[in-house]
Amino acid sequence: MLSKKRITVTGGKGFLGRHLLKKLESCGCLNIKVADLPEYNLTDINDIRRMYEETKPEIVIHLAAKVGGIGFNQDKPAELFYDNLIMGAQLLHEAYLHNIEKFVALGTVCAYPKFTPLPFKEKDIWNGYPEETNAPYGLAKKMMLVQSQAYRTQYGFNSIFLLPVNLYGPGDNFDPRSSHVIPALIKKCFDAIDSKSDHLEVWGTGAATREFFYVEDAAEAIYLATLSYNKSNPVNLGSGSEISIKELVKIIADLSGFSGQIIWDKSKPDGQPKRMLDTSKALKEFGFVAGMDIIEGLSRTIEWYRENRHLLK
């Protein structure tokens, strides 16, 4: 039972981290520690060792990441590669050295090849190179899968690797310099309404498709995997459905109350052409199935932003 375990969550102050902490607490976990900035710089081996000594975890759930949308990936590929690689490699290695019972590594859908057949199956993760704009980030995170499998083979160390698709929900990152598509679009709609603009500009053609995963569903999936999954084979986490960016923009505009024209900047990249996961393994291995409908999830996210955006400026 997890309720009696000492659990450390890296990145626990972040978007997913805050929701996971609530989930763990609601399930009776009382001994939870957070390892995040500024207390711990998880790219620094000395801070990582200090974190293990101070929090004394039995289980580590590694959520911490440097992450952003297409623009952020284009501007900072080296930082995204190095910071994510060094965090994952050192945290997992020190977990092994400290005899941690279980290490839960969060990967990313960006690890999949650019032209993976739909729906993405875990067995296809090595069948090609990731989409170029987010390859440094995706490959850095995927190295935790290699490390997890290698450490299980050589040392018998229990670590797992989960592959979540794009997250969204209340409390998301709405900073336009680093936000993902849903919060970026929501902010654009509200900004356009505030300025009484009759149009807003969106990157790409709108033809790309994406799968979006409500953050509370993600927290539930991570909890269930931490509770009962003990293999190093990767597992997809998602909703199992896709939507085009063009349709997504229309829904967000309607729910936000923006009625102007959408202008597509086709000089900007679409990113990966299609993205949708086969989530059957998560159901089979630890009984997870997503519960949130995209319309309801977007409605809740937009309402949260409407009520809290004055605090974000």
Its pTM stands at: 0.94
Residue 59's φ and ψ, nearest 5 degrees, are -130, 135
Q: Which domains does the chain have, with CATH numbers?
A: 2-169+212-239+276-291 (3.40.50.720)
To 10 degrees, what angle do helices 45-55 and 77-97 make?
A: 40
Distance from chain centroid for Cα 111: 12
What confidence score (pLDDT) does residue 1 get?
Answer: 83
What confidence score (pLDDT) does residue 122 get?
Answer: 98
List the beta strands (DSSP E) in the chain. 7-10, 32-35, 59-62, 102-106, 159-164, 166-168, 199-203, 209-210, 212-214, 235-237, 243-244, 261-265
What confidence score (pLDDT) does residue 180 get?
Answer: 87
What confidence score (pLDDT) does residue 195 get?
Answer: 96
Distance (Å, rounded) from C-alpha 29 to C-alpha 32? 7
Distance (Å, rounded) from C-alpha 189 to C-alpha 199? 9
What confidence score (pLDDT) does residue 179 get?
Answer: 87
Amino acid identity for residue 2 in this structure:
L
What confidence score (pLDDT) does residue 219 get?
Answer: 98
What confidence score (pLDDT) does residue 301 get?
Answer: 98
| Residue 126 exposure: Cα atoms within 13 Å on the Cβ side | 6
Could you tell me the mean pLDDT of each successive run of 10 residues in the chain, 313 residues long?
Answer: 95 97 97 98 98 98 90 90 98 98 96 94 97 94 98 98 96 89 96 96 93 98 98 96 96 97 92 90 98 97 96 82
* Catalytic (active-site) positions: 137
Token couple for 75: 């501007």
Q: Can you name the residues that pair with 200 across neighbouring β-strands?
A: 262
